[in-house]
Every structure is written in structure tokens, then in C-alpha cells.
Amino acid sequence: MEEKIIVSNNGPLEGTVKIGGAKNSALPIIAASLLGTEPIILEDVPKLNDVSVILQVLEHLGSKVEYLDERTIKIDSSNLTSYVTPFDLMSKMRASFLVMGPLLARFGITKTSLPGGCAIGMRPVDLHLKGFKALGAEIVSDSTKIEAKTENGLKGTVLYLDFPSVGATQNIMMAASMAEGETVIENPAKEPEIVDLANFLNKLGGDVKGAGTSTIRIKGVEKLGGTTHPIIPDRIEAATYMVGAAMTKGDVTIENCIVSHISPIIAKLREVGCEVFDMEDEDKVRVVGKGKKLIGANIKTLPYPGFPTDVQAQFMALLSICEGQSTVTETVFENRFMHVDELLKMGAIIATEGKEAQIAGVPKLRGAEVKATDLRAGAALILAGLTAEGETKIGETYHIYRGYDDIIGKLRGLGAKIDRIEE
């Protein structure tokens, strides 16, 4: 038996949807909870498969994890018992690799297997390891496992990241938070999730400055305590519903979103012909596609504050029904066009070459049997199904649940015809 998601065209999405906490912020902050020697309470944690995997990793390492309510978690890592991450959990999710930095900081040693997750390209962990080496760790690795250890503790250093990798920036920040002296990270990632992690570390008693800019400075401290911290809203989830409003020519208000985090999405939706009202002081944005003629546009994915690679697939689904020609250039992940073949089954006209996809807009997509090749591709296919003629049946749905908290419930709340079936 495999679960499928069935979607059919139900006209425009209308109403209000509330965005949950950000997956890409929750995972590193949960990992960073390993650094705390007093209880930590995290609020607005999304209910996602990835979150439950990383909580299992923490429990395996000796943390006590308790749900206070559906989206509030208490973590106590005062008595950790292990520094080895088990293979079965690691293989389920790449973000499990984020425990390496905190474990290295606490124990001076950590062992793990190579991470799994979405198959969207190389995403090498060499930048993480380069960071650990610069802090004085010795790395021993083979094709399946990695060990990092330090004889005399981590030492602050100045290091330059060849690419502003989000995961590497986070892992190095966590490791450096307890290193001796000051660490300076040049060319780090600037994503909001980096800022959220820095704020969290500072609440624990850390000393991190410059997160969100091109230089992060971390002064190591001897020990980190506990705190209560709400996870920032998920900008990718917000963007997905914004694109859904545009595609279905609907009128949707997105609540609990930080408007500055989604400014590239707002700009591009206006460019294709939508009306977007940003109510920054209320943390809301409203997208109106009703009665609008949608025209093609060009997008190019870039590290933050550029157009996010995590919204590329959803936006391509939108561009496939916009009038005229569009181009999508993917610069972040080399394998992120797997959704193209699925959109073609639905009648989209897309030609890809290397990092570029050329799209000729069609008036209507057609329902088809497709599969979610990765998390964001799955969301794109749901949105495409909402506008297509007939019924769209999406397989390999587990990818979707890795990143969207109650996507079916939230879309139904906006009037979508969407169901789960077993077949």
C-alpha cells in the first residue's frame, strides 16, 4: 500500500492561512540544544517527519525530550551519554549532520555516518569539515562514516567559506560557540535561519555577533545554559501558499510571516501580474491573483537575500501557466530540475539545458499521475494539480510531509479539493 495525494481543480484558493515555525530553523536549533546544560523550551516547532527524526537523534545521544503541547518541546541535554549518531537515523535526513558541531564542542569528539535527505545534488559536507579542521579538529573519514576529534579542545580561528553554505555556517557557529578565543566566519550564509540560530545561542549565554551579515564573530564561552525560544515562521511555507494564491487566481492572506524574509517572492509575484499587499506591521501578506492576467518572468535562484532555491519548483509550476516565455536559472543545487519531467506529464512546455529551464506558458495544465521527486517538487505538483483539468495523483508523498506541517488541512481551509488515499 502506498499513500497518494489526490488533487483536483476547485477554482481559486481563498481565505487565510497561518504559517508554522520554520523547518530550516527548527532543525539546527534542536541540534544546538545539545550545547545547553539546563532545560530548553522551544515554541512554534513544526510537526514534521524531519523534526521527529532529529529529536530521536537527540534522545539517542542522551537528551530528555518532552512535548509540552503539540508545538512546544522541552529539551534537557544536561546529561548526554553518547557522541555517536546512529546510521539508521542519519540516513533518513541530512540535517542530522548538524549535531556534529555541538557534539564536538561538548565532548571534543563525535562520530557519524554520511547523511541522507533529498536527492537534489551534491551538497557535500566538506565545508562543514573544513570548518571543524580550522577550529583544530582532526577528521578521520571513509566512504560511510566520519569522525571528528580534538585533543586539546577547539580553538578560535578566522575562516573563509568558499560558498555561503547554510548547514556549514550553522555547524561551525555551534562548534565555535564553546571554542577557546574568537572565531570569525567570512562569507557565511545570511539566511534568516542563521540569525535565528545566533539569537538562540546568545540566549543560552553565547556570544555571537554579525549573523545575517558577511562576517560572523563568535567568542567562545565555557558553558551554555537554558532558555525559552520561539522558532521563526517558515518563509518557504509562506511562499508556497503565496504561489498557490497566484496560480489559482485566488485571494489569500498569509498570517505569521516576516515580510522582509519573503521580499524576492513578493517582487516576482508582482512581476507576473499579481497584486501583493504587505502588512509588515501585522506580519501578514495578502496575494490577489483574481482577475489578473499572469505573464511570464525570469527567475534566478541565489543564496539569501536572493530568490530561494526552495521556491524554484513552486514558481516554475506558476510560470508554466503564465502567458509568454520564462526562464529559470538554478545556481544553488545542480540537480534541482527533477520536477520538470513530472510537470511535462501535466502538459507543461519546459526545456532544460544545464542550469537553465526555458518555459513556454500554456493556458491550462492537465491532471496526471506524477511523483514527488523531492520535498519542494511535491509542493509544486500539488499547486499544479489545483489548477489542472481533471485529477492529479501524486505518489512518494513522504517527501512532502518532511517539510509541510498539515499541508492538506491548510489547503482544504482555503477551499482546495485535496485528499489522501491508500492504494
CA 100 vs. chain centroid, Å, equals 19
118 is catalytic: yes
Task: Tell me how crowded residue 277 is: count the other CB atoms within 10 A of its CB.
Answer: 11
List CB contacts of 124: < 8 A, sequence separation 6 or more.
none
CA proximity to 319, closest of 291, 341, 350: 350
- 329, with CB counted inside 10 A (0-12, 13-18, 19+), is middle
Integer Cα distance of 154 and 140 in angstroms: 16
Decide: helix, strand or coil at residue 102: helix
Q: Are 58 and 80 in contact (CB under 8 A)?
A: no
- 280, with CB counted inside 10 A (0-12, 13-18, 19+), is exposed
DSSP 122-169: ---SHHHHHHHHHTT-EEEE-SSEEEEE-SS--B--EEE-SS--HHHH
Integer Cα distance of 34 and 76 in angstroms: 8
Helices (H), 217-257: 235-247
Integer Cα distance of 176 and 210 in angstroms: 14
Annotated catalytic residue, options 118, 257, 274, 322: 118
List CB contacts of 228: < 8 A, sequence separation 6 or more.
40, 41, 42, 43
* Catalytic residue ranges: 118
